[in-house]
Amino acid sequence: MDPLAHGLSLQFVTRLADDAADQAAFISGWQQDYAQISCGRFSGRLDELCLGRLQVFREYSARETYQQCQPWQGAIWFGIPAPGSGERLRFHGRSVPPSAVLVAMGGTDFTLRTPDDFTIYGIVLEQQVLAQRHLELFGRELPPLWLQTAAVCLAPDTHQALCGQIAELLALARQTPDSIGRQLLLDCSVDALLLALSQSAAEPLLRREGSSQRHWQWVEQARQRALQPAQNWLSVEGLCRELHVTRRTLQNGFQEVTAMSPLPFLRALRLNQVRRLLRSPVSGQESIQQLAEDWGFASPSHFSYDYRRLFGETPSQTRQRPRH
């Protein structure tokens, strides 16, 4: 059955978030985890247009985030940072050109380290639909590079035109959703994307060798540790012993992948974990001090200061919000 059959209904939604973890749950069918890593109150927005298993969206976040993302199985995701948003973006642990199209396969994880005031457009569809449209447009099979995690660099004017076309499609969907049919959706998203990519140069990102691969592994190991409650704080010395590296080498690896030093990055992850629990209905019996201690924050005053500085509110104010 054609995943974009005529009988499927088109849906357009806008969702607003004041918390990074909430925004992570917005995109239909994805598995995601977002952590806020720059200071200030978070605000985010998602405009999503769906027709069956074809998604077109625009996502905005006001604060820097570290995102672990996985599109639905069988899909392929193309992410296009909006003009002016691609500076300082890291995709899968590496810097990418501001006018790049990011590619990732469904069912596999990728990471984004996003800057402040960041907007990205996304197109997600079945791999078979992409292959079919490419064959219809160009009379040949898809390039193998488009079926792996990669960054595809567009010319600035091509990049800007593609973003403008997706923005117009989303604006039309908001104003007059009944005017958008299957063919218009394909023409204005998938075909526009394929035509832009056909003019591009590409840089594979999965072929990690040497230091780049090791840096990625160090950050992932440390991140997994930070996402588990532990009363003993993660120290740089302890990480160096576990990973068998020097302090300078560890610092360089974290800077490459996260654009941060190890301790501030891991502290932000754990503060985000405490925030999730404070906003969860199942954690109301534990005191704020106990939650902080469970996640390695031994000093209540230092915890409160760090928490308020990162999120723009006190732990008590977070707990008093409506819970999700």
In this structure, what are the phi and psi dihedrals at residue 303, rounded to the nearest 5 degrees?
-60, -50
Going by C-alpha positions, the residue among 49, 23, 26 that lies closest to residue 34 is 23
pLDDT tens digits for 115-161?
Answer: 999 999 999 999 999 999 999 999 999 888 778 888 888 999 999 99
Say yes or no: 42 and 190 in one domain.
Answer: yes
Q: Give the separation between CA 251 and CA 213, rounded to whole angstroms.
A: 15
pTM of the model: 0.92
Q: Give the separation between CA 1 and CA 21, rounded to whole angstroms.
A: 35
Please check whether residue 5 lies inside any domain of the structure: no
Q: Give the separation between CA 251 and CA 215, rounded to whole angstroms.
A: 10
- The domain tally of the chain equals 2
Say yes or no: 258 and 197 in one domain.
Answer: no
Tallying the residues shown for the chain, one arrives at 324
Say yes or no: 28 and 160 in one domain.
Answer: yes
Give yes or no for residue 231 having a pLDDT over 90. Answer: no
Q: Give the separation between CA 126 and CA 106, rounded to whole angstroms.
A: 9
Q: Where is the domain boundary, 204, 230, 257?
A: 204
Please check whether residue 99 lies inside any domain of the structure: yes
pLDDT tens digits for 34-91?
Answer: 999 999 999 999 999 999 889 999 999 999 999 999 999 999 999 999 999 988 999 9
Residues 6+ positions from 148 with CB-CB distance below 8 Å: 103, 105, 204, 206
Q: What is the domain range of residue 73?
A: 10-204
Say yes or no: 162 and 251 in one domain.
Answer: no
CATH number at residue 45: 2.60.120.10
Mean pLDDT value across residues 203-221? 68
CATH number at residue 302: 1.10.10.60
Please check whether residue 3 lies inside any domain of the structure: no
Give yes or no for residue 205 having a pLDDT over 70. Answer: no
Say yes or no: 153 and 291 in one domain.
Answer: no
Q: Where is the domain boundary, 174, 204, 234?
A: 204
pLDDT-based confidence at residue 277 (cuts at 50, 70, 90): very high
Say yes or no: 51 and 177 in one domain.
Answer: yes
How crowded is the C-beta side of 305, counted as CA atoms within 13 Å? Answer: 5
Say yes or no: 95 and 184 in one domain.
Answer: yes
Say yes or no: 198 and 220 in one domain.
Answer: no
